[in-house]
């Protein structure tokens, strides 16, 4: 039965059932169940349909959240899917991995005594149901264009651009260095947050819509960057950023200290059924080890929770600020704590102990001082506060920087910013090379999947405008 809106005054917030910590520690399955129809309609009906929807304003995609919540509450689910997918290429993915507590749900205007609407869970329910009901149709362009676009990178930015450009009728080819489509969605994010079938389903959907994929592509090697520019009318670079930030201090080069992404890729490949020597040898396997993860972002949370599932003896997260100042989702911190992870706040490593391999981390207590120029509180060490944490495996989750992109593509003409990201026109997404565009993390730096989707869609619009302008100019000659 259709629900009336504004039910938050008497209907409490309810998230989908979450598996008990002991059960979910044993596998990589998603920890949240899915709403049934009754639950989704009831929770959607809690929306206040406010005049200024801060949930939409604080969504990078400006999703029409109150509209599809109302349609869901009224039982008009196919219409809800159409509204949701109009602004978001992958709503079922964002519903699972977006930090809603910092974006849409965190800015819900419902007073905190009543708690916000469970937007992410409803968003996930809508599109999962749409796939099951056959409402998600392959892309069908109304007009086929003569031009083609090459996209380097099959992550969220590249895939979002591919979908938008294919709808415009362009021939789209996506090149990726990996053997599967999805980028960090498939290799960087663990299955307990995003089961891989969800990503592979979108790969199949894009192929059915006419997007071509060239995997294991060596751009700048076997496939020259110049040949891509010659083959396609426009090229979009959407490779993301993968280079781990390093950590200094005595012993920082000891074996057993590994980058977060190497660790996560190995784990994801193993759960996908691949043969992974570094996992089998124990080099990138936490089983039976005392694990220390350094960092406080979502990648650090992925690492600590992966280590738990691999059977680590102990898992400790060191972060130099406190819980309130960490960049990651507080929901993820709570899930990690439930699963047995120990968080040591206001602590930073100063040295790594061991002879032939790491055996411990010597850390020092930190103190939050006055805000600096960025507005964040400074972090200062407390003299004489050193302590040691036993460690057989140390994972560096300090963020990512861009790789040497011109060097990687053997295209030194590509200009970079001072941060090492590709330099583009902020309005047109075009680099200094005509017809070469860039979007996602390779432009803005390491960020959220939802921002990558937004950038990919916006870049696709800019590429369409460029190609059409070129066609008009050629026709006028």
Cβ contacts of residue 475 below 8 Å, gap of 6+? none
Q: What is the pLDDT of residues 131-160, one digit of tens each?
A: 999 999 999 999 999 999 999 999 999 999
pLDDT tens-digit readout, 41-75: 999 999 999 989 999 999 999 999 999 999 999 99
Q: Of 288, 265, 298, whose CA–CA distance to 392 is shortest?
A: 288
CA distance 160 to 169: 15
pLDDT digits (tens, 9 = 90+) for 304-361: 999 999 999 999 999 999 998 888 888 899 999 999 999 999 999 999 999 999 999 9
CB 135 within 8 A of CB 78: yes
For 456, half-sphere exposure in the C-beta direction (CA atoms, 13 angstrom radius) is 31
Q: What is the pTM of this model?
A: 0.94
Residue 404 has pLDDT above 70, yes or no: no
Q: Token pair 């109150």 is at which residue?
A: 66
Model confidence at 112: pLDDT above 80: no
Mind listing the domains of the chain with CATH numbers? 7-133 (1.10.1060.10), 148-241+402-476 (3.50.50.60), 246-399 (3.50.50.60)
Q: How confident is the model at residue 406 (pLDDT cuts 50, 70, 90)?
A: low
Write the burial class of residue 310 (CB in 10 Å: 0-12 exposed, 13-18 middle, 19+ buried).
buried
What pLDDT shows up at residue 136? Answer: 98
Give pLDDT, residue 407.
65
| 242 touches 408 (CB < 8 A) | no
Confidence at residue 475, expressed as pLDDT on a 0 to 100 scale: 86
Which band of pLDDT confidence, cut at 50, 70 and 90, is reported for residue 436? very high
Tens digit of pLDDT for each residue in 203-257? 999 999 999 999 999 998 999 999 999 999 999 999 998 888 889 899 999 999 9
> Could you tell me the pLDDT band of residue 302, with boundaries at 50, 70 and 90?
very high
Q: Count Cβ atoms within 10 A of the Cβ of residue 160 and give its class: 0-12 exposed, 13-18 middle, 19 or more buried.
A: buried
Which pLDDT band holds residue 474 (cuts at 50, 70, 90)? confident
Chain-wide mean pLDDT for the chain?
94
Question: pLDDT at residue 111 above 90?
Answer: no
CA dist., res. 212 & res. 210, Å (int): 6
Residue 292 has pLDDT above 90, yes or no: yes
- 70, 47 in Cβ contact below 8 A? yes
Angle value at C-alpha 262, between 257 and 268, nearest 5 degrees: 130
Report the pLDDT averaged over residues 380-386: 95
């Amino acid at each position: 039965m259709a629900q009336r809106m504004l039910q938050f005054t008497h209907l409490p917030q309810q998230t989908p059932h979450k598996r008990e910590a002991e059960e979910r520690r044993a596998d990589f399955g998603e920890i949240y169940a899915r709403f049934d129809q009754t639950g989704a309609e009831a929770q959607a009906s809690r929306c206040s349909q406010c005049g200024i929807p801060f949930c939409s304003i604080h969504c990078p995609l400006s999703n029409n959240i109150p509209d599809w919540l109302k349609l869901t509450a009224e039982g008009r689910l196919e219409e809800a899917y159409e509204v949701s997918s109009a602004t978001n290429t992958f709503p079922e993915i964002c519903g699972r991995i977006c930090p809603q507590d910092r974006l849409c749900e965190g800015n819900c205007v419902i007073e905190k005594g009543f708690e916000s609407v469970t937007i992410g869970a409803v968003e996930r329910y809508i599109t999962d149901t749409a796939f099951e009901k056959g409402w998600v149709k392959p892309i069908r362009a109304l007009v086929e264009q003569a031009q083609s676009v090459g996209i380097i990178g099959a992550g969220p930015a590249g895939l979002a651009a591919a979908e938008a450009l294919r709808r415009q009728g362009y021939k789209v080819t996506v090149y990726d260095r990996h053997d599967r489509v999805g980028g960090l969605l498939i290799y960087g994010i663990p299955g307990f947050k995003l089961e891989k079938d969800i990503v592979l389903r979108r790969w199949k959907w894009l192929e059915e819509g006419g997007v071509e994929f060239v995997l294991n592509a060596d751009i700048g090697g076997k496939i020259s960057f110049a040949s891509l520019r010659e083959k396609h009318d426009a090229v979009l670079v959407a490779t993301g950023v993968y280079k781990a930030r390093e950590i200094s201090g005595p012993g920082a080069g000891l074996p057993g200290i590994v980058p977060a992404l190497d660790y996560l890729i190995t784990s994801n490949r193993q759960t996908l059924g691949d043969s992974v020597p570094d996992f089998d040898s124990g080099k990138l396997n936490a089983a039976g080890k005392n694990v220390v993860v350094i960092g406080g972002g979502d990648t650090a949370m992925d690492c600590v929770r992966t280590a738990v599932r691999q059977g680590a003896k102990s898992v400790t997260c060191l972060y130099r600020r406190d819980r309130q100042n960490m960049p990651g989702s507080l929901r993820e911190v709570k899930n990690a704590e439930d699963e047995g992870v120990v968080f040591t706040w206001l602590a930073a490593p100063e040295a790594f102990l061991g002879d032939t391999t790491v055996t411990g981390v010597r850390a020092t207590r930190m103190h939050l001082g006055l805000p600096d120029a960025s507005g964040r509180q400074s972090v200062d060490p407390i003299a004489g506060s050193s302590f040691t944490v036993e460690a057989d495996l140390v994972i560096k989750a300090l963020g990512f920087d861009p790789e040497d992109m011109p060097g990687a593509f053997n295209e030194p003409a590509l200009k970079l910013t001072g941060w090492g990201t590709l330099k583009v026109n902020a309005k047109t997404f075009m680099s200094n090379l005509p017809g070469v565009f860039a979007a996602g993390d390779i432009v803005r730096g390491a960020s959220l999947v939802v921002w990558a989707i937004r950038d990919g869609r916006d870049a696709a619009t800019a590429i369409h405008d460029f190609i059409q302008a070129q066609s008009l100019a050629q026709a006028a000659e």
